[in-house]
Structure 1
């Protein structure tokens, strides 16, 4: 039997989620700025010029081709 909704501290749960998202943003921002060292810290960084190899996504195509037997 699940606990009633009143048993959960929803405010604390949401605060933890938002804090984790904020930390993830800073980690991602630091990573992008390391890849673009000449960018001013106060300017937004674009990743539009990054290239990805289509082979990197091949595993998803294969997984989507599977059929239920």
Structure 2
């Protein structure tokens, strides 16, 4: 996977992460949220966060100080 592909994937992951934030907030704000669904979305959001960190780490050049 080249840098351009990684940057595109990173953008898609960030977008999905933001969308999950919105979905979780909407479920919590609605009366009687489905706790199982909220838990699944939060778990997915954590997985995305790990993937985002992985791609950011690979796209950021190492700087030796």
Please classify the TM superposition score into its range, dividing by the shorter chain length. 0.3 to 0.5
- Higher fraction of helix: 2
TM-score by length of 1: 0.42
- TM-score when scaled to structure 2? 0.44
Structure with larger RCO (C-alpha < 8 A, sep 6+): 2
Q: Give the number of the structure whose alpha-carbon radius of gyration is greater.
A: 1
